[in-house]
Structure 1
Amino acid sequence: MGITARGTGLLVAAVLLLGAGFRFGYPELTVLGAAAGVAVAVAVLSAAWRPRLQVRRQADPDRVARGEPAAMTLTVRNVGRLRSASLLAADRCGDQVVPVPVLRLRPGADTTVGYEVPTARRGVVPVGPLRVTRRDPLGLVVVARSYGDSVPVWVHPKIHPLRAVPTGAGRSLDGRVDAVPHGSITFDSLREYVVGDELRRVHWRTSARVGELMVRENVDTSLPRIVVLLDNRLAAHPQRVRGVAESFEAACEAAASVVTAAVREDLPVTLLFVAAPDDLAEASTAATHHGPAGLGGTEVHGAGADGAGDGGPTGPLDRLAAVSLSDEGTLEAAAARLRRDRLGDTLVVLTGPGGRDDLGHVGALRGAYPSVVVGVFGATEPTPPGTGGLLVVDAADGAAFAAEWDGVRRW
């Protein structure tokens, strides 16, 4: 509760009038001072009345890609039984304030307001709570209260369809093999013996039946694992416009596209961040547990040397919506962890123009990962060829990355 400038002036006048009336014996001044004091007291009692309001929100949808439309429907109902509510209300939507008409809202009646949620920037847009302001008829006292909860709207990176998906060192023929991360040997077919085949692979029963040596052909049946490392260091994305690093936004779009393509092909994929900022952990707590449809089983981690930020109940697209640039973490520490853990056989590193000087640490991972692809976004000049022997894709944005990705002939 706060008193306005008018109320403050009237309260000061009441004190002065009462003091002068009693001091000099002027009953008229005393009456005026008492009337002013009573007016302030009545204003306080009038503004202190708390209307009973019920607030409901409906986001349609509550998860969208960057730039796609999203609408919020707000319903305010007066659940009181005696008085109509005549209030000033505003709803918070990100950095915007949306006025809500709650004038002469009769008992049992409701009002509905719909407005667009800004989705031009990737991130979590908090909507609410409803801020209700009540004033007395004379404008002496103002009281502001909050109603309802805050509802997040997740603005995910835009997903660009990828036709090509790295298959790694081996393609699974009969399902996922979680117990053997580096593959297992499974019988596939029989073929004729050629010089150099091991005799222990000869299938003697079939050889006796057909009259010539037949050899078992074995294949690696484990699913290839794709590891996506997103460089979210401030140093990797130095160019910013109005606080937004477009190279980082493009890298997020590329990461979302690769993860979605891997899930579509039913391939295990791990999403890593070079730095694990604090707001990412907070966003994971506020997010829902099921995540986007079809992505709940994808692993999401932070790639710091100490493993901070590992796990979490959110899906990868929620994490990409919540992750931001950070000063913590180094690409050298992330590469050391990738070399130690060997999380997969295909490594995709996505960085900005400031990360090209650290690609030597990524090139050192070629012995641990048979296939290493590096995406560099926002660079004014193409990456010099032969950088550590890596396959480098230079792209201005996520759409250009998708086009270059599908044009890669070897992994």
Structure 2
Amino acid sequence: MSWLPQYFFRPRGWLLIAAGLAAVALAQLLGRRDLLVMAVFLITLPLLASAGLHLFKPGFTVRRSFSPAFVETGTTATVTVDVHGSTPGGARARIIEVLPAHLVDVPSFDYPNSVTPRGLLSRYSYVLRPSRRGLFTIGPLTAKFSDPFDVALLRRDLDRGDVLTVAPAAVPLPEISLTGGRGQDGSRSTRQQASPSDDDVMTREYRYGDPLRRVHWPATARQGKLMVRAEESVTTPEAALVLDQRLRAYGGSDKTAPKSGALVTTPAFEWAVTAAVSVAAHLLERSYTLRVLDHQGRPAFLTSRSAPEADREDFAGQPGAIAIAQSLAALDLSGGLEDVPAPPLADTLADKLIQTRRRGPVIAITGVLTEADAMVLSAAIEAAEGAFAFLVSNHPADVAEPLNILRRAGWQAVAVRPATALLEAWLAVDLPSPLTTVAARHPRHGEGAVRGSRP
């Protein structure tokens, strides 16, 4: 009986109403009062059952939890739903969890649980595997209630749903020299002997096994016993990450306008986001203090709906890596959808990088740059020990001149397509040749993979 409408009444209810209407017609035709009484009963029963369901709506408390609290794309999350309530008259319910459209497997459950006593807590769990980043509303939990006679139907949302944060997954990156190869591990964490003057030296008494090169002879002479320098001071390495967020720079158009609640993004920007979270994780794992800026020199996550601290720009350690990943989860492209070119990179970006004088590398991940944009970035090399740029474009040839400007200024820059493997681009930017351009391994439309050669 799936052809019967599933609104207000169950199939049995619709059949009772139809039988009641038929009994009314027969009562009038045959003049039988008993048929009329039966007709009234058949029609009234579903109506009263429906009114009872709407009048005595059962109360519910729904608690939904995610494990882990936020997930990366391509990984799994376990959703646990606790439903506590009562159903008058012994009615049961069919519960359906409403999910975003790209999560096609919609879970459904019977309430109460067959293993749980009626009126007590019923617990359900299922697994999600999100394939894209963003903030997704999981729920609401929708229930279909029926009366004890199974003739009426009531649909209810038991809650408003909960938001699941899906962050972009970081790609593990190998070591490369981020400071011109001066450091042994590419990090250039500058070790300074704390011996410019006696006032700058911290000493302690000699211990068995201390190397003789650390003996501090002036302090030894003063104390009358062998003294050595305390631990050498280590300068914390610093770096800056610039993430371009201009809509038109990443090939955005009027067709990029999202549906309600969706992200404003393009395939090129998704590549940039993955690169940003991967580079950030790579640097923070190596004890860098990382500053993350947007194309205007502002904190990069000011417009992100998922950022725990939108105005934060400095990150360090594992908590910093988690905060960056969470902030990138719902980062949109900025700029209007009108048919105008992308706004230029702000001069304040270069000014901010120069003024801070950070002793470390600068990594820029951008869309299509103009020559003026490239000049703005070129100025920032004054404040960096190493400068690296990834220009994401569907047609790398379109950014040939900006690439040359950056390279002449001392940047190690490559152009990539959205289909380019991040690992390939990361290794290419480390090549000593300034003429390297990376394309996808499997170019489309007959285009060959463009790869510069060493002169």
Scaled by the length of structure 2, the TM-score of the pair is 0.60
Bigger mean CA offset, 32-41 vs 250-259: 32-41
- The equivalent residue for 1:327 is 335
**Structure 1: segments with no counterpart, 5+ residues:** 175-184, 191-204, 210-218, 299-313
Larger RCO: 1 or 2 (CA < 8 Å, sep 6+): 1
Number of positions where the alignment pairs a residue of Structure 1 with one of Structure 2? 351
CA contact (8 A) 1:92 1:128 kept: yes
Counterpart residue identity of residue 160, structure 1: P
In the alignment, is residue 262 of structure 1 matched against residue 283 of structure 2? yes
CA contact (8 A) 1:62 1:154 kept: no
Q: What are the equivalent positions in structure 2 for 1:37-76 lying under 5 Å apart?
A: 37=44, 39-67=46-74, 69-76=75-82
CA contact (8 A) 1:277 1:324 kept: no
Q: What are the equivalent positions in structure 2 for 1:242-281 lying under 5 Å apart?
A: 245-274=266-295, 280-281=303-304
1:323 aligns to what SS in structure 2? coil
Counterpart residue identity of residue 131, structure 2: A
Counterpart residue identity of residue 190, structure 2: S
- The equivalent residue for 2:172 is 160
Counterpart residue identity of residue 327, structure 1: G
How far has the Cα of 1:233 moved from its partner? 1.6
- The equivalent residue for 1:225 is 238
Bigger mean CA offset, 87-96 vs 272-281: 272-281
CA contact (8 A) 2:176 2:427 kept: no
Bigger mean CA offset, 227-236 vs 393-402: 393-402
C-alpha distance 131-187 of structure 1, shift in aligned 2 (>3 A): farther
How far has the Cα of 1:255 moved from its partner? 1.2
C-alpha distance 332-56 of structure 1, shift in aligned 2 (>3 A): same
2:404 to 360, 372, 386: 386
1:114 aligns to what SS in structure 2? strand
Counterpart residue identity of residue 96, structure 2: A
Using the aligned pairs only, state the percent identity.
17
User: Matches of 2:41 and 2:316 in 1, distance apart?
Assistant: 67
- The equivalent residue for 2:210 is none
Counterpart residue identity of residue 138, structure 2: V
Which structure carries more strand by proportion? 1
**Structure 2: segments with no counterpart, 5+ residues:** 1-6, 183-187, 199-216, 222-231, 259-264, 435-455
In the alignment, is residue 91 of structure 1 matched against residue 84 of structure 2? no
1:125 aligns to what SS in structure 2? strand
- The equivalent residue for 1:118 is 129
Counterpart residue identity of residue 293, structure 2: L
User: Matches of 2:86 and 2:10 in 1, distance apart?
Assistant: 31
CA contact (8 A) 1:231 1:351 kept: yes
Q: What are the equivalent positions in structure 2 for 1:282-361 lying under 5 Å apart?
A: 282-284=305-307, 294-297=317-320, 315-327=323-335, 332=344, 334-340=346-352, 342-343=355-356, 344-345=358-359, 346-352=361-367, 354-355=368-369, 358-361=373-376
In the alignment, is residue 373 of structure 1 matched against residue 388 of structure 2? yes
1:365 aligns to what SS in structure 2? helix
Q: For 1:276-325, what per-residue CA distance to the aligned partner results, in whole angstroms no more than 9, with x for missing partners? A: 899944323699x9xx9943357xxxxxxxxxxxxxxx711111122122
CA contact (8 A) 1:43 1:141 kept: yes
CA contact (8 A) 1:47 1:135 kept: no
CA contact (8 A) 1:162 1:405 kept: no
- The equivalent residue for 2:443 is none
- The equivalent residue for 1:310 is none
- The equivalent residue for 1:401 is 425
Scaled by the length of structure 1, the TM-score of the pair is 0.65
1:270 aligns to what SS in structure 2? strand
C-alpha distance 74-403 of structure 1, shift in aligned 2 (>3 A): same
CA contact (8 A) 1:70 1:119 kept: yes
User: Matches of 1:135 and 1:73 in 2, distance apart?
Assistant: 26
CA contact (8 A) 2:56 2:88 kept: no
How far has the Cα of 1:145 moved from its partner? 1.9
CA contact (8 A) 1:63 1:156 kept: no
